[in-house]
Amino acid sequence: MKTAFRRIGKALAACVLAAATTLVGLTVTTGAAHADGCYNWGRTLVQGSTGEDVRQLQIRIAGYPGYNSSISLDGVFGPATHAALIRFQQAYGLSADGAAGPQTFSKLYALQDDDCTPINFTYAELNQCNSTWAGGAVAASTAKFNALVSMWKLQAMRHALGDVSINISSGFRSVACNNAVGGASNSRHMYGDGVDLVGSPSFCRMAQQARYHGFGNILGPGYPGHSTHTHVGAVGGWSASSCGI
């Protein structure tokens, strides 16, 4: 969990940026200047926009695709990205116009840390096995990126659950680590996007909520070996019969 000081600093920065978007009745409609340690957007993004700035937006709203859906991280602002952005804006009480401008960017800056992870999750939490991210089923850089996307999905899920803490018992595993703990031979943990969730809220509540946040792989109570946690990943299907899934 990130420290309270880092959260306060991010929240303060967001307040300053939000205040700066309106000056003496003049509303700023283009991307506001902001010194963020991770990424800065310099223009308003709308349907039809393309580029790396769109892809960076997509990463951060990957947890808002709607029920049993996902969005592509392809740098193309299409209908699915538009719909996800509206859900994100609604979730945080922003003007839900489907355009990413100063208000949206201000909220994203407040939600991310300087290493681009969301404020409530860390790379260390997602990798308790091998800090180099090597030895899995994909290249280390891919595994780390997949973990980043999973964190943003979890951030969305956490907010939907009332901003309650979500605890992680296992994330990325190298093949050796996966074998050592008896993981499935095709485990999503080896790809970097598999995450095991424990603690509060209940396992079933997390499994049920995960259906709305871009997770194609949800395994929970009722699925063999998952009575003590809920697993989420990018692909692989859902099964948690005790939870009605």
pLDDT in tens, 62-98: 999 999 999 999 999 999 999 999 999 999 999 999 9
Q: Please state, for a pLDDT cut of 90, what percent of the chain lies above it.
A: 82
- Residue 69 belongs to domain spanning: 4-111
When pLDDT is cut at 50, 70 and 90, the band that residue 15 belongs to is very low
| CATH label of the domain that carries residue 194 | 3.30.1380.10
- 117 inside domain: no
Q: Indicate if 172 and 90 belong to the same structural domain.
A: no
Whether the pLDDT of residue 4 is over 60: the answer is: no
CATH number of the structural domain spanning residue 89:
1.10.101.10
In a domain, 8, yes or no: yes
* Packing angle of the helix pair 79-91, 52-60 (nearest 10 deg): 50
- In this structure, which amino acid lies at residue 53? D
Q: Is the bond preceding 102 in cis, omega lying within 30 degrees of 0?
A: no
**Parallel, antiparallel, or unpaired for β 167-170 and 195-198?**
antiparallel
Structural domain includes residue 29: yes
The token pair that represents 87 in the structure block: 């859900």
Do 15 and 76 lie in one domain? The reply is yes
Structurally, the chain folds into a number of domains equal to: 2
Based on the fold, state whether residues 51 and 138 are members of the same structural domain.
Answer: no
* End residue of a domain, out of 111, 138, 155: 111
Whether 97 and 8 map to the same domain: the answer is yes
Q: Is 231 a catalytic residue?
A: no
| One domain for residues 69 and 146 | no
Residue 116 falls inside a structural domain = no
Residues 9 and 87 in one domain: yes
Of the ranges 15-29, 38-52, 58-72, 92-106, which one carries the lowest mean pLDDT score?
A: 15-29
Q: Is 17 helix (H, G, I), strand (E, B) or coil?
A: helix
Q: Which of 213, 226, 229, 231 is catalytic?
A: 226
pLDDT surpassing 90 at residue 26: no
Out of 8-12, 105-109, 123-127, 194-198, which region has the weakest mean confidence (pLDDT)?
A: 8-12
Residue 43 lies in a domain: yes
- pLDDT of res. 28: 35
